[in-house]
Amino acid sequence: MMPVGGDQAPGQVVAGPLGDAALSGSEAGQASWRRSSAWRVLRRPAGFLPVIFLAGIIMACFAASLIAPYGPLTQNLTQIDQGPGWQHLLGTDTLGRDVLSRLLYGGQASFIGVAEAMAVAVLLAVPIGLASGYLQGRTDTAISRVIDVLMAVPGIIVLLMALSVFGNSLTPAMIALGVLSVPSLARVVRSATIQVSGELYVAAARVVGLKPRQVMWRHILPRVIGPTVVTASILCGGALLVQTGLAFLGFGVRPPNPSWGSMVQEAGTVLYGDAWLIWPSGLVIALTVLSFILIGDAIRDSAQLSRSGQTPASRAALRRAARAAARVTEAPRDSAQPQHGEATPAGPALLDVTDLSVVIPTVGGVKTVVEKVSFSVAAGEAVALVGESGCGKTVTALSILGLPPGGGHISGGSVRFRGRRVDNLPAADWRKLRGSGISYIAQEPIVSLDPSYTVGSQLTEMIRLHDPGSPRKAAVTATALALLARCGIAQPKEMFRLYPHQISGGMAQRVSIARALAGDPRLLIADEPTTALDVTIQAEILDLLHDLRADSGMSVLFVTHDWGVVADICSKAVVMYAGQVVEVAPVTDVLAAARHPYTDALLRANPHLAAPGDRLQEIPGSVPPPGQWPAGCRFAQRCALATDECTAKPIPIKQLTGLRATRCIRTEELAALQHTKDGSRNEPATTA
């Protein structure tokens, strides 16, 4: 049983005794890290090859006493400056010493220096970043100030001071390098900690009384291991370059003992006489640094795949499906003549959607998510796309904008705006149409605004884009302030200077509406613009949209599941179910008597129409996902009026009157059943 009008948040956990929810979240994050980041890194060539190379070179260096053909200081003055050969695989240097042996022994000091620097950096940066990101407040401010000071310190001077004070020893220099690496790594940990701290399982851990130290170490740390390792791998490459650079300058390992940096320095002295000598040491340094960086990239990619639930095989399947979808799109489409089943518009059609079909590539292949959808929006008209989640409303709305989600493509039908076909426009023409002809308001107002820029910057950017003939900053600013005031913001000058995180959800939605109106569009697509807002703010936003439409004559296409919004704003309803239009009718007629069982069920499940004390009605079952649509009526499995005839073959949409159409063969039975129900259900819905 599934109530209409509510979307459950996937992955939510409920805190049980002793913080079980928080513990499960932490363990799940840790297990996901092991499986997705470690195992998947080894399965991908971009991660497997660098890991194998790095592991091999490290083991070979520390096993040099067992596998090196010669000692690091063994000289043979009769074989100086020789190239590669069977006796010396990588040749000899200016003193006849075996280059391969010196590379193996010299790598020990290089890797030990890297390990020292990274140990210091991780041991200091992880606790600092966790405390700064989780505790916030004065702790975060104090730590941030110290980090800012450390980042301003010139690193090379600190390293040279450490070398001079501690007698040219490399260990103090590497420890100092680790301290200098703390700010960059701590900032990464802090950023990841702030993001994880807002998740529900962390809140559950706090609610049950766990101490901050327990929350940070047991429940947040496993989730920030990924970005920490990625950053540390890149810092390892930098530490190796610094270590070899110091050795090149003569610091650290004292000649004649080998190190990779000193070998590069020796090769540089005979570069014109023996060019080969620079290649072994230079190449192994370059490949080792590159391996560190590639491993970090592979871990990052694997972590992203883990969060999205994809595998390399699934990504390959998606690519194949996307190519198949592209081939479907390239096939010639019909000229898209109007068919039966669309209500006659109240006036000249501003938007005309005819037989629109959309396919999206998935792991299982290309799936149709919207099939032969037809409706129109007249100039100045407000039309509602109504249905449960998963019915194809948002896909239809975005496809009208030329932006099918998930790599999808329009596979059939047409979209005409002001009589011009726009579904096949090139990208340059679409950019001219979006914002000025058709504009869009997203469901989440805060997410739709860029947190890096002020409200004023984002508004003026849109104004300049759609009105390039107004170069004067004062004129653009005045237009932006007028838009904010027009959208009901009492203090537009103050709002102009604020960032999105500094304003409420209702104010953010007003800003989003102002931005959508910057190009003076003729059609506004509003994708559930009030869902994320409280009831009072919902009413204010609806009143604002109603007034804006009345003042400007703008058409509005509402995507919603709220019949209260439909009754308040819209004159026509287009009801969708499982990718199809199942009913089209004027709103007053739908509210009086639906002509499709799904529309009738939606109305009966409307909380606005429930009598106090009565149990809210539900629609049994759920919307079948794409790829699992039945051959006949797609609502038949949830419909009490369904017969064998309903499931035998696809049900065509039929015209009832000039303004009504339905995809049902049981309309007479539905009408008879409605007469036996409580007549109060047929009263129009109103918003709270």
- Cβ count near 134 (within 10 Å): 20
Residues 6+ apart with CB under 8 A from 138: none
Characterize the bridge pairing of strands 349-362 and 365-378.
Answer: antiparallel
- Residue 333's pLDDT band (cuts 50, 70, 90): very low
Structure tokens at 583: 């009913």
Q: What is the pLDDT of residue 125?
A: 92
Query: At 56, which amino acid appears?
Result: G
- 284-316 burial code (b ≥16 CB/10 A, e <16): bbeebbebbebbbbbbbbbbebbeeeebeeeee
- The SS3 of residue 247 is helix
Structure tokens at 280: 């072994």
Are the CB atoms for 239 and 233 separated by under 8 Å?
A: no
Cα angle: 282, vertex 285, 291; to 5 degrees:
135
CA–CA distance, 403 with 405 (Å, rounded to integer): 6
Among the residue ranges 73-77, 139-143, 432-436, 607-611, the one predicted with the least confidence is 607-611
580 pLDDT higher than 80:
yes
pLDDT tens profile 489-504: 888 899 999 988 888 8
Structure tokens at 309: 């639930």
Are the CB atoms for 26 and 33 separated by under 8 Å?
A: no
445 pLDDT higher than 60:
yes
Q: What is the pLDDT of residue 210?
A: 65
Cα angle: 408, vertex 414, 420; to 5 degrees:
120
Number of H helices, E strands in the chain: 27, 12
> In DSSP terms, which residues pair with 581 in a beta bridge?
576
Which of 601, 564, 555, 568 is CA-nearest to residue 582?
A: 601
Q: What is the pLDDT of residue 340?
A: 39
Q: What is the pLDDT of residue 608?
A: 67
Residues 6+ apart with CB under 8 A from 40: 47, 302, 305, 306, 311, 312
Distance of CA 657 to the CA centre of its chain: 45
Q: What is the pLDDT of residue 332?
A: 44
3-state helix, strand, coil in the chain (%, to 5): 55, 10, 35
Structure tokens at 70: 């010669």
- Residue 140's pLDDT band (cuts 50, 70, 90): confident
Report, in angstroms and rounded to the nearest whole number, the Rg of the chain calculated over CA atoms: 33
Cα angle: 378, vertex 380, 382; to 5 degrees:
75
337 pLDDT higher than 60:
no
Tell me phi and psi for residue 655, to 5 degrees.
Answer: -85, 125
> In DSSP terms, which residues pair with 354 in a beta bridge?
414
CA–CA distance, 264 with 244 (Å, rounded to integer): 9
CA–CA distance, 338 with 469 (Å, rounded to integer): 39
CA–CA distance, 303 with 41 (Å, rounded to integer): 9
Q: What is the pLDDT of residue 205?
A: 61
CA–CA distance, 14 with 37 (Å, rounded to integer): 27
DSSP state of 35: I
Mean pLDDT of 128-134: 90
For the purposes of burial, counting CB atoms within 10 Å of the CB of 181, is it exposed (0-12), middle (13-18) or buried (19 or more)? buried
pTM: 0.59
Structure tokens at 394: 């948002």
Q: What is the dihedral of CA 444, 446, 448, 453, to 10 degrees?
A: 180
Q: What is the pLDDT of residue 583?
A: 94
7 pLDDT higher than 70:
no
Are the CB atoms for 51 and 42 separated by under 8 Å?
A: yes
CA–CA distance, 154 with 160 (Å, rounded to integer): 11
Domains of the chain (ranges, CATH numbers): 19-308 (1.10.3720.10), 349-434+569-682 (3.40.50.300), 438-523+531-557 (3.40.50.300)
Q: How many Cα atoms within 13 Å fall on the side-chain side of residue 428?
A: 0
Q: How many Cα atoms within 13 Å fall on the side-chain side of residue 314?
A: 10
CA–CA distance, 288 with 286 (Å, rounded to integer): 6
Order of strands, sheet of 555-560, starting from the edge strand that comes earlier in the sequence: 438-441, 523-527, 555-560, 382-386, 572-577, 580-586, 661-662, 654-655
Among the residue ranges 128-132, 182-186, 499-503, 651-655, the one predicted with the least confidence is 499-503
Look-up: residue for tokens 């089943």? 341
Are the CB atoms for 235 and 289 separated by under 8 Å?
A: no
- Cβ count near 653 (within 10 Å): 20
Average pLDDT, the chain: 79
Helices (H), 136-210: 137-152, 155-165, 170-197, 200-207
Q: What is the pLDDT of residue 329?
A: 46
